[in-house]
Amino acid sequence: MSEPLVQLVDVGMRFRLHYEKAFTLKETMINLVKRRNNYSDLWALRGVSLDVREGEAVGIVGRNGSGKSTLLKILARVFEPTEGKCILRGSVSALIELGAGFNAELTGRENVFLNGAIMGLSRAEMERRYDQIVDFAELHDFMDTAVKNYSSGMYARLGFAIATDVDGDILLIDEILGVGDEGFQKKCFARIQQHLDGGKTVLLVSHDPDAIERICHRAVLLHNGKVVFAGSAAETLTRYREILAMERSPS
């Protein structure tokens, strides 16, 4: 069996939270002598292991603050994990935050070429792709408008069109399918399926159970930064609903 395209081995991500309190000189000296710190450590992820193979679509579910977006940012190389290993055996296209990779002062047209440069593509290559990107986004009349004037739906259209037009081996998507009208969402689903049919790998974060079940072969459930369940999309969503029900029930 071939090696997985995505391999996470005991990955942990720690953030250092600094206190806002302004210490007096006396308090500062006491803290130095007693070696007290004015910060605490928050582990957003701990002990996360996951293998994803070529042609697989894997959903990542969990309540807000469970570590889903942090995990995708590690896969997108935005964050370097504090511990463990993140091994990627292929190129990555990522749509992990609305407006990420865009310069709000530039036009839609200029941002297409900016994103291409960020992804390592030449201007000539992006010129070849430009028309099909705009056609998919359906923003022909707005490409010379600064994106700071775009609605969230317009951001989503252009960002998704760029990310999925680039021939990455691994596609990362974070909640973006919840933005935009129903017609555009259908186009997004069809584009993702094209990627899967072409042997690409997809990791999808979404609160929409229909999207997870429609796209993903399997899913993992994150809770308090740890993988607490992994299985088929349907099984994982059932377990997720059970956790939500327990949290809502009176103690």
| Tokens, residue 34 | 């007693």
Is a pLDDT exceeding 70 seen at residue 251? Answer: no
Q: What is the pLDDT of residue 198?
A: 92
Work out whether the CA dihedral 182, 188, 189, 194 comes out positive or negative.
positive
In a domain, 101, yes or no: no
Distance CA 165, CA 98 (A): 17
In a domain, 125, yes or no: no
Q: Contact 223/243 with Cβ under 8 angstroms?
A: yes
- Note the pLDDT of residue 15: 94
Domain membership flag for residue 161: no
What domain count does the chain have? Answer: 1
- For residue 47 the two structure tokens come to 């002990």
* pLDDT of 61 higher than 90: yes
Answer whether residue 241 is part of any domain.
Answer: yes
Phi, psi (deg, nearest 5) at residue 120 = 85, 15
How remote is the C-alpha of 6 from its chain's centroid?
14
CATH label of the domain that carries residue 17: 3.40.50.300
Angle of helix 123-137 relative to helix 108-118, nearest 10 degrees, comes to: 130
Residue 224, domain member (yes or no):
yes
Residue range 143-161: mean pLDDT, rounded: 93
Q: What is the pLDDT of residue 184?
A: 85
Question: Residue 44: which of 228, 225, 227 has the closest Cα?
Answer: 225
Reported as half-sphere exposure (CB side, CA atoms, 13 A), residue 120 has a value of 5
| Domain annotation covers residue 131 | no
* pLDDT greater than 60 at residue 22: no
pLDDT digits (tens, 9 = 90+) for 66-119: 999 999 999 999 999 999 999 999 999 888 876 677 999 999 999 999 999 988
Is 143 inside a domain boundary?
no
Task: Give the pairing type, strands 6-18 and 39-52.
Answer: antiparallel
Work out the pLDDT band at 25, boundaries 50, 70, 90. Answer: low
Q: Is residue 122 part of a domain?
A: no
Q: Give the Cα separation of 136 and 4 in Å (integer).
A: 31
**Mean pLDDT of the chain, nearest integer:** 89
Whole-structure pTM value: 0.84
Domain range enclosing 78: 6-91+168-248
Strand 170-174's sheet: what is its strand order?
92-95, 170-174, 201-205, 57-61, 218-223, 226-232
